[in-house]
Amino acid sequence: LEEHARAVDVLLRGAANLGRVVIVTMAAEGWIEQTIEKLMPCVKETLDELQIPVSLARVGVSTRCMREAFADERSPSHFLKRRAMAKAIRESGRSKNHVWKHIVSIGDSEAEQYALQDLMMSRFPHARDCGWTNSNCKTVKLMAESTLAELTAQVRTLAQWLPTIARHDGDLDFHTVEDEPLLP
């Protein structure tokens, strides 16, 4: 677990050196903080030091919005993560007058991948205000239900490739599959 925590720390620091980092999760309120504090305290310190916010996609969602999430033809996770990503981008854009040229989503389900792709394709109404009308969408889908060793290997590989992925001038979409490397 310590080895994995070190790999996550390297990935977070590398990502923060490239730009703004926000973690969007379907986790319940307090779960991320409690789990990281108990199992990977160095990662909690890194999140605090780098001021990386954790956005809880299903917290503070109205009943009407939850009905929309379940009525939509997409999965509720996709709907709620798309909504949380849009909010994070909108809020970060306002606070720093930042131009969003490259936006990267990393996750172990298709919900993250499809949420960002859907968001980028739709260019939600506030896109011009956030400065991301010509942004590039990059998604990395990690293996679902990986062992700790597999996840650590994926995180390490991703940390090495993230600068190339983030700086690529175009859209990218990577998938991991069992018995195949993270990237070609």
pTM beyond 0.75: yes
Query: d(Cα 63, Cα 167) in Å, to the nearest integer?
Result: 39
Asked if 59 and 32 count as a contact pair (C-beta separation under 8 A), the reply is: no
Residue 96 has pLDDT above 70, yes or no: no
Asked if 86 and 123 count as a contact pair (C-beta separation under 8 A), the reply is: no
Asked if 114 and 78 count as a contact pair (C-beta separation under 8 A), the reply is: yes
Summarize pLDDT for 24-54 with one digit per residue, the tens.
888 888 888 899 989 999 999 999 999 998 8
Tally Cβ neighbours within 10 Å of residue 127. 20
CA nearest neighbour of 163 among 51, 52, 11, 38: 11
- Please report the pLDDT score of residue 121 as a whole number: 75
Residue 83: pLDDT band with limits 50, 70, 90: confident
CA nearest neighbour of 126 among 71, 170, 67, 85: 85
Residue 73 has pLDDT above 70, yes or no: no
